[in-house]
Amino acid sequence: MRGTLLYIGQRLVLIAITTVLVSSIVFVLLHQIPGNAFLNETRTSPESLAADLRHYGLDKPLGTQYVNWVSGVLHGNLGESLVNRGVMITPLLVREASVSATVGFFALLVTVGLGLILGVIAALRQNTWADYVASSAAVVGYSVPSFVIGIFFLLIFGHYFFEWTQGTVFYNVGWGDWTQIPVPAIALGLPYASYVARLTRASMLETIRTDYVRTAWAKGLKARIVVLRHALRNALIPVVTILGPLITGIITGSVVIENIFGIPGLGKEFVTSILARDYNIVIGVFTFYAALVGLANLTVDVIYPALDPRIRY
């Protein structure tokens, strides 16, 4: 237990360092791009522009700006929106991160749940119609990008049949109803569920041929116990290995899905801020994404000892 806590502590320090490096690189690169958010506004007089630059500290040298930004980040303050004066970025991104986390969580459930079910069925019914159907569905699933599935679902649920669209967005303004979650979650998680299904099938086929599984069958144990406790648990280790990259793909893929469905999350805010040149929010979103990716991979690593007691940190 002490080794695990020490490992988690070391990884958290590494995640913090990585997040700082990513946000620092983005900070420097964004400040090298010509132009700023104020050029898109109606007040373009030199006096107004100078006042805006002074208000946000953009008239200071880049090194001073960076030191002030890091000082604010250490106090939990990511700064103020360049486009909407008075809007603080930290509470804005925390609120939108909760929306993205909701969609991402259910997309992960689709990825793991559907992938495991299809993979186990295909392995237990090898070379039968069930295996062929599950394998074919997996091939189609990972061959089609999530944004194509999202647009296809948008046409089905928002135009042809159910007419859920309102203007240019998929949902009503009041996001939060549980009925709004399944369609974008499935669109985001379906391609990754196909990867899980194919890997689960291959791992299960290898596991069910081992001696300890054959012994369990010979003892007359129930099929549920043999499959879940003896075969699936050991077959999950390769599956858990790819969960880190899959979670990363879900986090980054939400940028496209949220824009397609008009979901007010980090992804939609990220694209909107880039188009509006609101670089403070862009830096904040990059910081959030870097931290989320690191924490997701840490969570996957911590799951390993629960599946295989021989693994120690």
* 225-240 pLDDT tens trace: 888 777 887 788 888 8
Q: Is the pLDDT of residue 168 over 50?
A: no
Q: What is the mean pLDDT of the chain?
A: 79
CA 88/CA 77 separation, integer angstroms: 8
pTM: 0.77
Exposure of 89 by Cβ count < 10 A (0-12 exposed, 13-18 middle, 19+ buried)?
A: buried
Neighbours of 13 (CB within 10 A): 10
Please report, for the chain, the start and end positions of each structural domain, with discontinuous segments joined by +.
99-276
Predicted local confidence at residue 161, as pLDDT: 54
- Give the bridge partners for 88, in sequence order: 80
CA distances from residue 279 to 90, 150, 284, 312 in whole angstroms, order as listed: 14, 28, 9, 43
CA 9/CA 136 separation, integer angstroms: 43
Exposure of 63 by Cβ count < 10 A (0-12 exposed, 13-18 middle, 19+ buried)?
A: exposed
The predicted model gives 168-183 an average pLDDT of 58
Q: 169: pLDDT confidence band, cut at 50, 70 and 90?
A: very low
Look-up of token digits 């021989």: 310
CA 223/CA 217 separation, integer angstroms: 8
Dihedral angle sign, alpha carbons of residues 284, 285, 288, 290 = negative
Q: Is the pLDDT of residue 171 over 60?
A: no
* Fold (CATH) for 99-276: MetI-like fold (1.10.3720)
CA 30/CA 36 separation, integer angstroms: 10
Predicted local confidence at residue 173, as pLDDT: 42
Predicted local confidence at residue 79, as pLDDT: 77
230: amino acid identity, one letter: H
CA distances from residue 277 to 3, 34, 37, 40, 168 in whole angstroms, order as listed: 45, 10, 5, 8, 22
Q: Is the pLDDT of residue 167 over 60?
A: no
Q: 166: pLDDT confidence band, cut at 50, 70 and 90?
A: very low
* 44-60 pLDDT tens trace: 667 776 777 777 777 77
Do the Cβ atoms of 122 and 201 come closer than 8 Å? yes
* 112-163 pLDDT tens trace: 888 888 888 888 888 888 888 888 888 888 788 888 888 888 777 766 555 5
